[in-house]
Structure 1
Amino acid sequence: MAEIIPFKGILYNTDKIGNMANVVTPPYDVISDDERDEYHKVNSYNIIRLILGKKNEHDPDKETYHAKASNYFTKWLDDGILVQDRVPAFYLTTHEFPLGNRTVTRYGLTALARLMPFDRGIILPHEKTFSKVKSERLGLLKKCHANFSSIFSLYSDKQNIILNSLKDAVSDKPPDMDFTDYKGHKHRQWRITDRDIHAYVADAMKDKKLFIADGHHRYETSLNYKEWISANNPDFNADHPANFVMMYLCSMGDPGLIILPAHRILTGLTGTELSSFKKRCDDFFDITTIPYKNNDNEKAKDNFISTLKANSAKNIIGVFMKNCPELLLLTPKPQAMEDIFSDVMPAAIRSLDVTILTNLILTRILDFDQKRMDDEELFSYTTDYSEAIDAVTPGKADITFILNPTLIKQVQQIAEMGLIMPRKSTYFFPKVITGQVLNRLTGCKIK
């Protein structure tokens, strides 16, 4: 069963840092090098110094950055920049953001969740991870012994009974934290210290499965950290803080839960691979072409994107290549995936657009081996349709693949079946902000 408990969170002291917008960031893995540098400039206490230190020629290695992060964390606690709550709490947050022509609000409960191996079937992943990333994150965790970012997880609650009980608990209270970030997103946070609410929510969560939406690397790193602590600490027991991880829990019934597509932008393809691509696709796809001769052809681009979205109920993938005067829409021929992959993957996985892209297009048609598939330098991602197309137009990228978003029900089905999607199958939007509350995995001074 899922075990969810309150905790004594560590929060920024707004009397000392002022506007919270100056110290929070998105999760480390969506921050570009330029953005990292900007966050360092905004405020000397920005959490970027803990999650993604600034590198330079005099400080090239990660080990030094991890040590610096630990020193910052300890000093900020000692100086009262960060303060630990005296009473265990659940932290209810709202994230209000624009989406198209409307404003959307997503609710999240930040609490501690007992770590469970995936094979227990209680906390479930849905995507593959990179070993290199987990190794780097483990190094940081070993130095700092703290969760700086929450694992973004989902639970099924069609009537939103749990969420409604949390809303009722804060309905007559002003938020403890209220700020607007640099993107114009509004964030609010309430402490819930009522033990009856704690007990009610913990009990209601016992029969839930938790689906990791974002933070697979951090969750697996926490499992590895727990093993490392248990092997090196003779006093380790079931109540040790390393048994838990800070988690942001969102109901699948929350209307603010949004998944955006993760379009692929590739470099490093040869001229032969590009020139033969369309011909090689003929055996597996019905191909619709839309003339696209220059960057000013906005009507063609709009037609391409609208056609892709209009066919989201079936498999369809958009393609644009360097030096190609047309946009392509690929629809798999009947039985194309079944004929090739029915013996090696179940239908739930075969039916995903991202699987068709990964296994049929990249692996079979373009002949990518595992080394190229794992090469992070070849791939970049965007959630913006136009940006994906425009990345190729000036010749910066070789080819781009434009997808429709994966559905929540697909994520749930695949996770429950114990299956794993290809990397970057989902992009939950927006990311959970980092810096609203932290969790230390050892003892902490209380200011």
Structure 2
Amino acid sequence: MATVKPLKGILYNQEKISDHADVTAPPYDVISPEEQDAYYDRHPNNVIRLILNRAEATDTPRDNIHTRSAGFYRKWVSEGILKRDEQDALYLKAITYPTKKKAVTRYGLVARVGIESFEKRIILPHEKTFSKVKSERLELLKATQCNYCPIFSLYPDDGSVLKMLEQAAGQSAPIVDFKDEKGHRHQLWRIIDPVIHSRVAGVMKDKRLFIADGHHRYETAMNFKKYLQDTDPGFSDRHPANYVLMYLCSMSDPGLVILPAHRLIKALSAADMQEALKTARTYFEIAEYPYTPDDRQQVEQTFLADLSRGASRQSIGIYVHGTPVFHLLNLKEGVMERLYGNELDASLRVLDVTVLTRLVFMKILGFDQARLDNEQLIGYASTADEALRSIDTGAYDAAFILNPTRIEQVQEVARKGLIMPRKSTYFFPKVKSGLVMNTLAE
């Protein structure tokens, strides 16, 4: 039973903040150092100071990124920059953005959701997480006791929940309405009717929730709850830390898009990749796309188009720094079943990210778990253009280009209680940090 409740949300005070585009940001884990600096410069009250505070050479246990985040949060509340709603509310969030040459709108419900262990199969993950990231996020939560950004979760629905919320919002104007730096329009409605709260809770209680984005934050919320249970004698089932802030989106929402999470690898030489490609011919049919400076753009487009056409047969594109050629690997029939049939469920074997992780990275390239866990040596990009450019500039040594994981694959893996490799999905657009926040302090 999923427990979905309203909250007294903490929002930026529009009497002091005229444009939410100046103070909101994406989730912390998709922000580059350059983007972090840009958000810092954009506005002195930008949420970047809360979700991803800038490290200083003089950091100490008493003055560090987490304590400064907590300091900014308390200061902004005291100054009225952030203001907590006086009434419990559910928040209807809409984002309108262009995809495939047309505008679409994705809706989400922002609410408190009761924290459940994965074993109960009420809230289900689909990806592995990094232990180091969770420990870092836990220190932030200890210092701030506030959810700055909702966890992006999915629920099965025929549209009834959204219809109920839209009717509740009625023809009223949104309380927040702005366009971000990408031109995406964000709107937020506050729904305070307790009858609607009860109806939504009743409909949602029979649903399973699938974490789409925010696995680290959800597991950190579980760890924070346990930390309080172990250290606070007064902790009870009424404590706010029994809940976590979520953005709930219907799996049938036409505005729900999954982008690929291309892998970018450092410390991998061209010579190593040439040897790996020789070994890969045992398992893949490999096509080469050599290019010259004059025909680079045309060859690149052909390469990416062929990769997209190979989505049903598990295809992986490879581009290596200093080698003017793209490679397209098409998996031979029966390889994954022969190699991993006894240890991996069929729902995992068919995933391109599994082929890449288990067959290419671990078996062919010999990466161990420590190498796969090393965030200094592996990066991600959601667009092929970004991935390829990172190789051209030398920021990374090799890019592995993937087709996106499909929503039905996410559902199947999560439903079976299985876990995909890290960063198997990139749900787009991301849910903004700073629109609605949730205090975990009593």
* TM-score, normalization by structure 2: 0.97
What do residues 325-356 of structure 1 show as CA deviations (whole Å, max 9, x unaligned)? 32211111111111111111111101000000
Once the two structures are TM-superposed, the CA of residue 291 in structure 1 deviates from its matched residue by 2.1
> Does structure 1 retain, via aligned residues, the 8 Å contact 2:270–2:323?
no
How far is 1:234 from its partner? 1.6
Q: 2:81 is matched with which residue?
A: 81
Hey, what's the Cα distance between the residues in 2 that align with 1:77 and 1:231? 29
Q: What is the identity, as a one-letter code, of the residue corresponding to 1:147?
A: N
* 1:39 partnered with 2:39: yes
User: Closer, same or farther in 2 for the Cα pair 1:415/1:107, shift >3 Å?
Assistant: same
Q: CA deviation digits over 1:362-388, x for unaligned, max 9?
A: 001111111211111111111111232
Q: State the Cα distance separating 1:239 from its structure 2 match.
A: 1.3
Deviation at 1:72, TM superposition (A): 1.3
1:86-105 matched pairs, under 5 angstroms = 86-105=86-105
Corresponding residue number in structure 2 for 1:365: 364
Equivalent residues of 1:295, 1:390 under 8 A apart: no
**Change in CA separation of 1:385 and 1:27 when aligned onto 2, cut-off 3 Å:** same
Please name the residue that 1:70 is paired with: 70
Report the counterpart of residue 56 of structure 2 in structure 1: 56
Q: Percent identity?
A: 47
Which residue number corresponds to residue 112 of structure 1?
112
- Give 1:302-341 correspondences, 5 Å limit: 302-341=301-340
Task: Give the secondary structure class of the aligned counterpart of 1:132.
Answer: helix
Moved over 4 A (4+): 60-63
User: Deviations for 1:61-80, whole angstroms, at most 9, x for unmatched residues?
Assistant: 79611111111111211111
Match of 1:402 in 2: 401
Post-superposition Cα deviations, 1:171-214, rounded to whole Å, max 9, x if no partner, equal: 21111111111221111100001111111110000110000000
Alpha-carbon distance change, 279 to 232 in structure 1, aligned in 2, over 3 angstroms: same
Q: Which residue of 2 aligns with 1:131?
A: 131
Aligned residues: 442
CA 1:319–1:354: 2 relative to 1, 3 Å = same
Closer, same or farther in 2 for the Cα pair 1:133/1:63, shift >3 Å? farther
What is the CA distance between 1:324 and its match in structure 2? 3.0
Residue 100 (structure 1) shift: 3.3
Q: 1:62 to 1:384 in 2, by over 3 A?
A: farther
Q: More displaced, 121-130 or 291-300?
A: 291-300
Bigger CA drift: 342-351 or 288-297? 288-297
* Residue 216 of structure 2 is aligned to residue 214 of structure 1: no
Provide the rounded CA distance (Å) in 2 between the counterparts of 1:177 and 1:393.
41
Q: Which moved more, 1:431-440 or 1:36-45?
A: 36-45
Structure 2 partner of 1:280: 279
- Whether the 8 Å CA contact 1:63–1:139 is kept in 2: the answer is no
Partner of 2:420: 421
Contact 1:315 1:351 in 2 (8 A): yes
Alignment partners' CA distance in 2, 1:394 and 1:177 = 39
Separation (CA, whole Å) in 2 of partners of 1:12 and 1:391: 36
- Counterparts in 2 of 1:60 and 1:21: CA distance versus 1, 3 Å: farther
Whether the aligned pair in 2 keeps the contact of 1:113 and 1:245 (CA below 8 Å) is: yes
- Please say if residues 56 and 64 of structure 2, whose CA atoms lie closer than 8 Å, have aligned partners that are also in contact: no
Letter of the 1:4 partner, please give it: V
- Residue 327 of structure 1 aligns to a residue in which SS? strand
- Whole-angstrom CA distance in 2 between matches of 1:125 and 1:89: 27
2:71 and 2:387 mapped to 1: Cα distance?
Answer: 40
2:244 aligned with 1:245: yes
Structure-1 separation of matches of 2:270 and 2:328: 21
Q: Alpha carbon RMSD of aligned pairs, Å?
A: 1.4
- 8 Å CA contact 2:264–2:396 kept in 1: the answer is yes
Counterpart in the other structure of 2:6: 6
3-state DSSP class of the match of 2:412?
helix
Amino acid at match of 1:228: Y
1:384–1:243 distance in 2 versus 1, CA, 3 Å: same
Residue in 2 aligned with 1:179?
A: 178
- 1:222 Cα offset (Å): 0.3
Q: Distance in 2 between matches of 1:324 and 1:31?
A: 29
**Equivalent position amino acid for 1:366 in 2:** L
Q: 1:277 Cα deviation (Å)?
A: 1.9
Q: Which residue of 1 aligns with 2:19?
A: 19
Cα 1:399–1:439 change in 2 (3 A) is same
SS in 1 for 2:222: helix
CA deviation digits over 1:8-65, x for unaligned, max 9? 1011111112211111000011111111111111111111111111123233779611
When structure 1 is superposed on structure 2, of 86-95 and 368-377 the one drifting more is 368-377
> For residues 140 and 12 of structure 2, what CA distance do their matches in structure 1 show?
20
Distance 1:341 1:430 in 2: 34
Q: 2:111 corresponds to which letter in structure 1?
A: A
Cα offset, 1:396, TM superposition: 3.8
Matched-pair contact (CA < 8 Å) for 2:270–2:320: no
Determine helix, strand or coil for the equivalent of 2:189: strand
Decide whether the 8 Å contact of 1:148 with 1:439 is kept in 2. yes
Structure-2 change in CA distance of 1:58 and 1:367 (3 Å): same
**In the TM superposition, what whole-angstrom CA distance separates every residue of 1:71-128 from its partner, at most 9, and x where no partner exists?**
1111211111111111100000101112231112110100000000001000000000
In structure 2, the partner of 1:258 is: 257
1:289 pairs with 2:299: no
What amino acid is aligned across from residue 76 of structure 1 in structure 2?
Answer: W
Gap runs ≥5 in structure 1 = none
Whole-angstrom distance in 1 between the partners of 2:393 and 2:228: 50
Unaligned ranges ≥5, structure 2: none
Structure 1 residues 127-136 or 305-314, which shifts more? 305-314
Contact 2:270 2:322 in 1 (8 A): no
- Deviation of 1:4 after TM superposition, in Å, equals 0.2
Kept after mapping to 2: 8 A contact 1:25/1:434: yes
Q: Is the 8 A contact 2:313 2:331 kept in 1?
A: no
